Structure 1
């Protein structure tokens, strides 16, 4: 791993934090600027849509004002031309009632003039002049994303129309006069609305705003130009906008690519006098002016951030040096302490309060370390002397007891077996108890002798070639056969016959005796003891299983400790020194192996593995 200095690491960390914060602030700034600009653009386009709607309705009202000023008795054609209308009709009250014009019927019902947008049928258009009919005949163009249609030509019209009542001298309504202008290809209308809403404003030689009127989903009047510079008459609105505006009657607002540029657009439904949606009013605001404004603000923001980051990096470099310098002195001091100069003191002053306190604490620690080292040396010498005395005592006592016990056991067995004369049943029972206790003491003395060897580090491995089953396990099983018989235990030795290993025979016998003895002592009466083995490469695994009380997980950690015995009910009746498994573990590990326990539902398996050595 590549190492870096504290100063470099601090500087890099500070710069990383600065850059991370700068990036976050930049993203936040970009988001805020974009949201603000987009919000302003969207608000503006909605305001423009309201203005366009107001201008459109004003056109209808202007027709009404012209009708109200004119004299209904004058020649109808003269009036039409004077009012600059595409059509003008005068009908009696009876004709009005029988007709299908909803605006005229509204006048009959209310007795007052009304105006609205109205669809003009093909039959009604037939009665108008040829110039008007030509304007309503619009070829429908294929438009991407528009809804499917089988129509090829639009042969109906849409008009802004107004109607007023005609009254006699007595004030009675005798008829209705109504007239209007066809919107289809009436470019003066959309240009006038555009002029009212947007003025003549342009941005980089491009119009800031555009206006379109749709009949159903077909553009019938617009100042949106195609790539060829022609008005985009006959193109259609997208299916998504159509569903939102015409079918659901909602106002749509979003950005859209209009011919050559992106625009912020808004669409709202155009309704007739009966509140049916017959078309769409659209306005679009050029997005380029807002994106340029956003880009300029963002550029200024980035420049400010870069300057702030550069200043922060310079301050970080200075700060990293002021922090790392005292720590460098401390590092030098720790290296000197590690080499044995425990009393070394830091003399350099730190300007940072925490580092100054750290240096003071370090000096205090150095002094205490020196004092503690001296105390430890004294304690170590005392411990070594005590441990030497302890090991000598264990070895001496165990050795002396071994000789005495050998003589006592021999005499006790001679008395029990009748070699020194016949004894009665009660005497034999007492002698049996004595021999059992002497056997236990002999085993305990052997364990203390082995413990003494282990503690002294004298556990030498003298490997010889032997058979695992015949030379180790079978003799060990024979040693404890009386316990198996008394507890009616079933013993199964499934270890492979004539399987040669190279180990210390005496030490491996201690391992086998400890494990098999524990299986016999702690196993249930009428239970099973199973010995199995497995070879994996150059390693041998031996398992000693007995039916018994499963060892809990917490108790497993204590199993192989010195002088440790499990707190189980059998502890009251089974004698033990707490050394057997500890010695077993040391012997197995000395053979390059390991030992562990695996509890099952009905008992425990003690498993040890070691190098075969052959």
Structure 2
């Protein structure tokens, strides 16, 4: 005892000194490390976001330059349209050949000439279709400014078909379901994103007598995005993958991209996340941040593409892989943590040395207590100073003297008393355990015997008379099916009584391949009326892929019934019972869960729910239902657990092995 006191004293003083130093050191280093790591992560993320913002600005500039090239090509084409003469059909026929050559030379997908009212007079790629009114707001801007106007527009499939060529087929993009995107029913995108220009045809008095439209279809094109990628990322790569990528969207669909999928194909038809869609398309704002793009995390930036009216109809995307920045951050963080760890270790060694020097007198006192503990009551310490440690040494010497005098008189008495207390305590513990076990077994035996005496005889009579009635009924009688149900349930009652006796005798269950879903369904069907009376709604979610498991179906149905009855009792005013089955392929087992919406079980009682004779129902329960169920599941090599939260209900989960040999 003296040794323990001295040891605790030594530990307490040394611990106080070391912990005081260590707390200050660790707190300072931890705060510094946390602040440094946060700053490092923020700085690297900001660096990555700044880069993609610059990349997106470069992409926007490239996109606008492409539009300017289209505008220049249309302006060049307008120069070949002679004011006034082009209205003649013969002139337009010759003009068509001239414009077709220019269209091919400039890489335009279409050229269309309309009069000042928008009536189409000539489609270069589809001369047979004319006379319709060109539905586009660009005409208003051209008439107002009398200059070439450049814009991005959405063309419907009908518009693309009228413009001719293969534009309608080129515009088709098969959509790909993308996690986190806005839910849409379309399986393909048939609209086209067209980057176009409209130039006025002016008479000598600079009055508009016509408008020439021309442009390119962005859908399924790679030249524009690949050219922008080469300019922005210069073939940069990381671990064999392209570092950056660019994409052009129509609405939230990728219609032109060099972002790859896992098989190397361009991710055409995949869609942007709902968050980005709401921000860019619906609100018309730029979005920059960390995003899961197709199949990799990237630092991404999105800019809306607007039509001539200012409405967002698509997006431009530029982004880089997050992995290089993450690896850089991790390397810096690991270096920072290594420096912090070395600092802590160095300061800890210094604190330990300082504490050792301060506690040297205490160690001498501890050694003296060891001598006293070994019976050397003559040992004394030599005071070294007049401080607290010195006064402690004087007190120790006086204590040792008093202890010497007291020990001789009380040692034998203490030893005798301690031995008697230990013996008596052991006897009481053994007697208590034996009494508890005896009471449990006695109660269980009485109950089992009572059930066998009181129920078996009536059940036998019911079963016998039911069989006799079944034999006397005509084979086509409607009552035979109901009577068969009575016989089956009577036999199950007999099996339940037998199962309760087996709980005490541990009889071996009759194993057969059992359909658990079917067993649950039979139990629920049997208890359907009771559930209706107690206003309990049952939701069954049964996994149809469950294999048959080796089990005693009668005993399992007894377990299911016990749990369902307990759940119904827990929901006195009505509620919901969720029953679910699930296959755990990794653990080679199946799970059956029963979750009620009752009041729950207090935490201090939850560990006792499987004890025999323990019940939360007062006189309404015997306390054997869950105990029997626990024993049955154990016999099947499985497990049963209960999880509960007061006010929210209780969940019982049963686990049964698929292969009994591996249970």
Aligned pair 1:92/2:115, yes or no? yes
Deviation at 1:88, TM superposition (A): 1.2
Aligned pair 1:109/2:144, yes or no? yes
- Quick one: which of 319, 327, 336 aligns to 2:354? 319
The 2-side partners of 1:302 and 1:239 are apart by: 38
Determine the structure 1 residue equivalent to 2:315.
Answer: 280
The 2-side partners of 1:321 and 1:204 are apart by: 53
The 1-side partners of 2:388 and 2:178 are apart by: 81
Q: Is the 8 A contact 1:96 1:176 kept in 2?
A: no
Q: 1:118 to 1:365 in 2, by over 3 A?
A: closer
Deviation at 1:17, TM superposition (A): 4.3
SS at match of 2:268: coil
Where in structure 2 are the equivalents of 1:562-577 lying within 5 Å?
none
Aligned pair 1:14/2:21, yes or no? yes
Aligned pair 1:72/2:80, yes or no? yes
How many residues are paired up?
356
SS at match of 1:311: helix
Aligned pair 1:49/2:52, yes or no? no
- Quick one: which of 26, 30, 45 aligns to 1:38? 45
The 2-side partners of 1:294 and 1:153 are apart by: 41
The 2-side partners of 1:329 and 1:176 are apart by: 106
Determine the structure 2 residue equivalent to 1:82.
Answer: 105
Aligned pair 1:58/2:65, yes or no? yes
The 1-side partners of 2:282 and 2:175 are apart by: 20
Aligned pair 1:220/2:255, yes or no? yes
The 1-side partners of 2:314 and 2:350 are apart by: 65
- Quick one: which of 217, 233, 255 aligns to 1:182? 217
Aligned pair 1:234/2:242, yes or no? no
The 2-side partners of 1:100 and 1:47 are apart by: 36
The 2-side partners of 1:188 and 1:86 are apart by: 14
Q: 1:77 to 1:362 in 2, by over 3 A?
A: closer
Determine the structure 2 residue equivalent to 1:558.
Answer: none
Determine the structure 1 residue equivalent to 2:228.
Answer: 193
SS at match of 1:192: helix
Unaligned runs of 5+ residues in structure 2 are 82-94, 121-132, 370-376, 395-663
Q: 1:365 to 1:209 in 2, by over 3 A?
A: closer
Aligned-pair RMSD on alpha carbons? 3.6
Structure 2 length as normaliser, TM-score?
0.48
Q: Is the 8 A contact 1:329 1:346 kept in 2?
A: no
- Quick one: which of 140, 143, 147 aligns to 2:175? 140
Q: Note the alpha carbon deviations across 1:189-230, whole angstroms, 9 max, x for none.
A: 111222222222112221111111111122111111122211
Q: Is the 8 A contact 2:280 2:304 kept in 1?
A: yes
The 1-side partners of 2:267 and 2:392 are apart by: 88
SS at match of 1:99: coil
Determine the structure 2 residue equivalent to 1:607.
Answer: none
- Quick one: which of 253, 257, 262 aligns to 2:297? 262
Q: 1:60 to 1:320 in 2, by over 3 A?
A: same
Where in structure 2 are the equivalents of 1:423-572 lying within 5 Å?
none
Determine the structure 1 residue equivalent to 2:445.
Answer: none
Q: Note the alpha carbon deviations across 1:220-243, whole angstroms, 9 max, x for none.
A: 111111222111112222233222
Determine the structure 2 residue equivalent to 1:299.
Answer: 334
Deviation at 1:40, TM superposition (A): 1.7
Deviation at 1:115, TM superposition (A): 0.4
Q: Which moved more, 1:241-250 or 1:108-117?
A: 241-250
Q: Is the 8 A contact 2:361 2:389 kept in 1?
A: no
Q: Is the 8 A contact 1:264 1:287 kept in 2?
A: yes
Aligned pair 1:206/2:241, yes or no? yes
Deviation at 1:361, TM superposition (A): 9.1
Structure 1 length as normaliser, TM-score?
0.52
Unaligned runs of 5+ residues in structure 1 are 348-358, 368-614
- Quick one: which of 11, 23, 35 aligns to 1:28? 35
Determine the structure 1 residue equivalent to 2:324.
Answer: 289
